[in-house]
Amino acid sequence: MDTISLHQAGFDSAVASLGTALTPEHAQLLSRYFPEAIIAYDGDGAGVSATQRAIPLLERAGMKVRVLRVTGAKDPDEFIKQFGRDAFLRLLDQSENQVDYRLEQIRKKYDLSDDSQKVGFLQEAAQLLSSLPSAVEREIYGRHAAETAGVSPEAVAQEVKKAFQRRLRKEQKQQERRDLTPAIQLQPKSRGLRYENIRSARAEEGVLRLLLLDPSLHRELTQLRPEEFSSPLLGKAYALLLRRAEDGLSTQLSLLAGELTGEEMDHLTQVASSPESMANSRQSLADYIAVIRAEAIKRSGARGMTFSWPHNEAIWKRKHIWRRNHEYQKERKFRPDRDPAQRCDHDPGEKVQRKQGPHPGDAGPYGSRQGGDHEGGRGRPRRGKAGRAD
């Protein structure tokens, strides 16, 4: 209703972002048309949380961000109905910088009449200010924080400098770690979405990108099931997109916002923004599917899943040969410590050619280290240590 009321009042650049459904993809799209964004969410807890989340998304897209505080009403719709269009226009002119807004939200968490809480406020404010890229911004808003807490700007500047140096060291260590382990760069930023199988997940990402770019490719995906995906999130997104494509609906990623969390949408937006060539899309899709299925076979150990006949045939042959050799070894009473020639590493139907030289009296299957194959040449088998015939 807020957006409808704003458009009716003549504010035709109003956009309904639906709070937590705002994604980096939306922010990039908005930045193509507007250099500045004024956030006008509700003033309740949910609205404040949505504002805090939206500010960095819009800033990373290159937009200047301000925040509107609706006073005297709970939302823009109610404000316009009570006070009119001109009053709302004046309110827009009074919208504050996003840094001051965030400093004010931090201040509300502390009782600044208590010295210990004042220290807590300044430390949290210093963490916020240390994230600003410009030294001038850090100094200006540091003075604002100092005035709020009633301390000298120099003290706040020292605290911001320490926080800024800690942030730099932390980022440098993280970058060094990423450089040493390239596979980390391929993982989602959220730990809860980490991939267990990088190779399969990269192919799964490719399938999603191709399906987003060309929904007609769903006809090539009739045999690929979501259960074969190694990543639960990518498998879920694939199932949702495939269903929409089969029903003839749009496969635009933003339409999945109602089915996925904000964190999941953020990651899928990054996946979709990666480059993907459509020059030979069907061959690329076939290659991705082959990788996904090969990795699925490895994970399942060829048990409990149905694959195409060549896979089943290879598995059956390996099992059959092993079983046949194993039974043959048992039948021959395999003793590798006594006679290497009896090792069953050959086809059971073949005869084994002994590589031993001729021995006097060699007239049986039992070998002897000295004096021929039979003890004393009498044809009597030698006895083992326990006194039984071998």
Q: Which residue type occupies 368?
A: S
pLDDT digits (tens, 9 = 90+) for 326-340: 555 555 554 445 444
pLDDT digits (tens, 9 = 90+) for 121-168: 999 999 999 988 888 989 999 999 999 988 999 999 999 999 999 988
pLDDT digits (tens, 9 = 90+) for 66-88: 888 877 777 788 888 888 888 88
Q: Are 41 and 50 in contact (CB under 8 A)?
A: yes
Q: Which residue has the tokens 């805090």?
A: 52
Paired strand residues for 389: 383
Q: How far is CA 252 from CA 209, 225, 239, 244, 321, in A?
A: 11, 21, 14, 10, 51
Q: Which of 45, 51, 165 is nearest to 100 (CA)?
A: 51
User: If pLDDT is split at 50, 70 and 90, which confidence band does 372 have?
Assistant: very low
Mark residue 387 as left, alpha or beta (left: phi above 0; alpha: psi -120 to 50; beta: remaining). left
Secondary-structure percent of the chain, ordered helix, strand, coil, rounded to 5: 60, 5, 35
pTM for this model (two decimals): 0.46
